Amino acid sequence: MSHSTLPSRTWTFFQDQWHEGNVGLFGPRTHALWLGSVVFDGARAFEGVTPDIERHCIRIGESATLLGLKPCVGLDTWLELVRDGVKRFGPRPELYIRPLYWGEDGSSLSVPADPESTRWCLTLFEAAMPVPGATSITLSPFRKPAADTMPIEAKASCLYPNNARAMVEASRRGFDNCVLRDTQGAVAELGTANIFMAKEGVVYTPRANGSFLNGITRQRVIALLRDDGIEVREDSLQYSDFETADEIWSCGNYAKVIPITRIDSRELAPGPFYRRARQLYWEFAHS
């Protein structure tokens, strides 16, 4: 294995102790491995802060319930473990913080996991915060599933292969990310984040209609902009709206707020609404 494919420095709390490195969690009979009963959440540590960590630790329990698992870790326990885990990386690390629930067993060849077999861990690993730069997007031929076909409201691992194939297809055409639509043709999100645009002094983002996860960072940015007196409309948006936007940016836990600088062949400059959104988020994170 080449050095470039090795996992970054990692600590995982599992079965009442901390383990360093990419610790093994699953066996070949583990329900989650072959039938997908896995939910996770993702928070961030950077510049000495862990913004909205409580909300991320609450959402992992909600995701577990939606997937038929049994959340068995209290909020105070998650938060204490996060604090302990962050300290293991030294001062002001840049980390991805990932609580995880999964089903270990199912009844004899049953598709649902046995909720009483739910297991959990907390993993933290080094992941540098992306620096805003050039990011290109295009329209994906793939669609997001509807809420009556997949557990959209859960941060469930089974949702991500669809986004992954969209990202692979866009990358083969030379783009960094892609716009996915819902089954009705409205824009839902990017392959890795929520999406915002601004036009004629108004900020727009797709309405949370059950076709994508209503992200914690998304909700935070909307609230911050509105509190700052900026009009934000959650609406049914078409790809053509983004093609003619004054500015576009992405919003998600991993990179927080990042500008989109090209949509198909059209170049875009980072604009004032993107810059204000990023500034407000950083001020909130450090408040």
What is the C-alpha to C-alpha distance for residues 287 and 283, in angstroms, rounded to an integer? 6
Longest dimension (CA), the chain: 59
The distance of Cα 266 from the centroid of its chain, to the nearest Å, equals: 27
What pLDDT is recorded for position 253? 95
Tokens representing 275 are 């810059």
* Dihedral (CA of 226, 41, 165, 159) sign: negative
What pLDDT is recorded for position 110? 72
Q: Interhelix angle for 216-227 vs 53-66, to 10°? A: 130
Every domain of the chain and the residues it spans: 3-126, 136-285
Q: SS3 sequence, 101-118?
A: EEECCCCCCCCCCCHHHE
Which stretches in the chain have pLDDT values below 70?
Answer: 1-5, 107-109
What pLDDT is recorded for position 53? 98
Q: 3-126: which CATH topology?
A: D-amino Acid Aminotransferase; Chain A, domain 1 (3.30.470)
What pLDDT is recorded for position 223? 98
What pLDDT is recorded for position 6? 72
Tokens representing 254 are 């991993």
Residue 23, burial from CB neighbour count under 10 angstroms (0-12, 13-18, 19+): middle
What pLDDT is recorded for position 106? 81
Its pTM surpasses 0.85? yes
192-230: per-residue pLDDT in tens?
999 999 999 999 999 999 999 999 999 999 999 999 999
Q: SS3 sequence, the chain?
A: CCHHHCCCCEEEEECCEEEECCCCCCCCCCHHHHHCCEEECCEEEECCECCCHHHHHHHHHHHHHHCCCCCCCCHHHHHHHHHHHHHCCCCCCCEEEEEEEEECCCCCCCCCCCHHHEEEEEEEEECCCCCCCCCEEEEEEEECCCCCCCCCCCCEHHHHHHHHHHHHHHHHCCCCEEEEECCCCCEEEECCCEEEEEECCEEEEECCCCCCCCCHHHHHHHHHHHHCCCCEEEECCCHHHHHCCCEEEEEECCCEEEEECEECCEECCCCHHHHHHHHHHHHHHCC
What pLDDT is recorded for position 1? 38
What pLDDT is recorded for position 2? 40
The count of C-alpha atoms lying within 13 angstroms of the C-alpha of 126, restricted to the half-sphere facing its C-beta, is 14
The CATH architecture that domain 136-285 belongs to is Alpha-Beta Barrel (3.20)
234: nearest Cα among 199, 276, 203, 192: 203
What pLDDT is recorded for position 13? 98
Tokens representing 85 are 């885990």
Q: How many CB atoms lie within 10 A of CB 283?
A: 10
User: Residue 274 to residues 94, 133, 135: CA-CA distances in angstroms?
Assistant: 23, 13, 14
Q: How many CB atoms lie within 10 A of CB 247?
A: 20
220-276: per-residue pLDDT in tens?
999 999 999 999 999 999 999 999 999 999 999 999 999 999 999 999 999 999 999
